[in-house]
Amino acid sequence: MATTTLAPATAAASDARDGRGEALRAADGTPLKRKLERTTRLSRLRAFLLVVPLLAFVVVSFLVPVGTLLWRGVSSPTFATHMPRTTAVLAEWDGRAVPGEAAFAALAADLVDARESRDIGKVATRVNRELSGTRSLFTRSARRAERIDEGPFRAAIIDIDEDWGELELWRAMKVASWSVTPAFYLQALDLQVEADGAIARLPEERQLHVSLFWRTLWMSGLITFLCLLLGFPVAYLLANLPLKYSNLLMIFVLLPFWTSLLVRTTSWIALLQSQGVLNDVFVALGLAADDRRLQLIYNQAGTIIAMTHILLPFMILPLYSVMKTIPPSYLRAARSLGADQVTAFRRVYLPQTVPGIGAGSLLVFILAVGYYITPALVGGQSGQLISNIIAFHMESTLNWNLAAALGGILLVGVVLLYWTYNRLIGIDNIKLG
């Protein structure tokens, strides 16, 4: 604010100086221009100091965690840290045939050390992510590797378990030994990297994430569309009804908005479940047979219904705030100039609500893409979204690297969407209330 009010004054001061050929001075004798600059700088500094607490909060609680998590998506130092000798040998290895004595000697030494420092489980978990079924091979072999005193190590280790002679295992170890790895991002896209550097698709029975990303996108799109369809008339009524009705209506919109998310989700369970209110009504009306009740929840339908309801206020409120500013006289003018009801709406009213539609849709869509608790509770198997798989890897499998990679892709997707929106419609055109 300070700069805008001062700018004309500065300009006036310099004009004045040009006119008279000497600088204007303030009461204490300093040139006016310099004094103005100092005041501006001071007020800027003051403004900055005022936002410092918020800035620090955002950096500490948002940017740093997001940054570290994104870094986790490509960082996997476990194997390289705890199996240093093997990692060094694997870096030289070309991946064509099972390596020789030197590699096995390094492996034996690393296994013993990793067991002593009790890190063998972490190493085993990492390799097991590349090649399933190898976890116990590591823990078991590490116990017995202690008894190998001297070479030849290759024979001794293969004697512990002949799986050590498998090329596939060594290739998995090579992939695991990269400290910075594309493996998790590739896995998040249903791809895998092989030891020779080639990238291949995962077998069909393990392709999970790409289809889940698509599902998340189309379901979020559908929910956004449904919110718009249901929210637009409500927002119109809110903006145009006499005050005493619109206030009451506003309370109906805000009351659920203020109610806990969990309460709203669980009340949908009570309403929609097969022994629930809605099905009971259908059966009583003869619309559904008692033994063939409709499955409205624990599937896609459940997620779509509950999420549309929960996200509806995020569509209505921006729409309302835009519609409130459209003078009713515009529509009347259109009518008086000969437009019929539909044309007046389509060519005069609707274009003016676009900032509200844009804001509401963007808000609902971005919230829907990352929604987690509602699909988890009412989604069953077909109504799960990508966020549920991310939560699954965070909480159940503890594969945070993969969770981070999935989250990273989601973040990039949302940013891309925002960017496209900005290019097409312009983010300045948005009105959030």
Partner 1 sequence: MVDVELSDAIRLCDEGLIEDIDHAMLPPAPDGTPPEEDFIEGALQPCAVATITWSTIYAFNEEAFPEDGAQPATIADFFDTEAFPGKRGVRKWPKAIMEMALMADGVPPEEVYDVLATDEGVDRAFAQLDRIKDDIVWWEAGAQAPQLLADGEVVMTTAYNGRIYGAQVEEDQPFEIVWDGQNLDLDLWVVPAGAPNRDAAMEFITFSTDTQRLADQAKYISYGPARRSSFPLVEADMQPHMPTNPENMEKALISDPLFWADYQEELNQRFNTWLLQ
Residues that bind partner 1 in the complex, under the rule CB under 8 A: 117-122, 124-125, 128-129, 132-136, 139, 205-208, 211-212, 215, 273-275, 298, 380-382, 384, 389, 392, 396-397, 399
Decide whether 146 or 340 has the Cβ nearer to partner 1: 146
Decide whether 115 or 174 has the Cβ nearer to partner 1: 115
Torsion over CA: 340, 345, 346, 349 (sign): positive
Shortest CB 126 distance to partner 1, Å: 11
Decide whether 214 or 419 has the Cβ nearer to partner 1: 214
Shortest CB 151 distance to partner 1, Å: 27
Decide whether 18 or 205 has the Cβ nearer to partner 1: 205
Reduced 3-state DSSP string for the chain = CHHHHHHHHHHHHHHHHHHHCCCCECCCCCEHHHHHHHHHHHHHHHHHHHHHHHHHHHHHHHHHHHHHHHHHCCECCHHHHHCHHHHHHHHHCCCCCCCCHHHHHHHHHHHHHHHHCCCHHHHHHHHHHHCCCCHHHHHHHHHHHCCCCCCCHHHHHHHHCHHHHCHHHHHHHHHHHCCECCHHHHHHCCEEECCCCCEEECCHHHCCHHHHHHHHHHHHHHHHHHHHHHHHHHHHHHHHCCHHHHHHHHHHHHHHHHCCHHHHHHHHHHHHCCCCHHHHHHHHCCCCCCCCCCCCCCCHHHHHHHHHHHHHHHHHHHHHHHHCCCCHHHHHHHHHCCCCHHHHHHHHHHHHHHHHHHHHHHHHHHHHHCCCHHHHHHCCCCCCCHHHHHHHHHHCCCCHHHHHHHHHHHHHHHHHHHHHHHHHCCHHHCCCC
Decide whether 110 or 313 has the Cβ nearer to partner 1: 110
Shortest CB 148 distance to partner 1, Å: 20
Decide whether 382 or 420 has the Cβ nearer to partner 1: 382
d(CA 58, CA 62): 5
Decide whether 22 or 204 has the Cβ nearer to partner 1: 204
Decide whether 86 or 125 has the Cβ nearer to partner 1: 125
Shortest CB 397 distance to partner 1, Å: 6
Nearest residue to 145 via CA among 179, 176, 110? 110
Shortest CB 205 distance to partner 1, Å: 6
Shortest CB 105 distance to partner 1, Å: 24
Decide whether 127 or 228 has the Cβ nearer to partner 1: 127
Decide whether 136 or 325 has the Cβ nearer to partner 1: 136
Shortest CB 134 distance to partner 1, Å: 7
Shortest CB 385 distance to partner 1, Å: 11
Q: Are strands 199-201 and 191-193 parallel, antiparallel or unpaired?
A: antiparallel
Shortest CB 399 distance to partner 1, Å: 7
Q: Computed over its alpha carbons, how large is the radius of gyration of the chain? A: 32
Nearest residue to 176 via CA among 78, 68, 71, 110? 78
Shortest CB 406 distance to partner 1, Å: 12
d(CA 397, CA 402): 10
Decide whether 136 or 341 has the Cβ nearer to partner 1: 136
Shortest CB 207 distance to partner 1, Å: 6
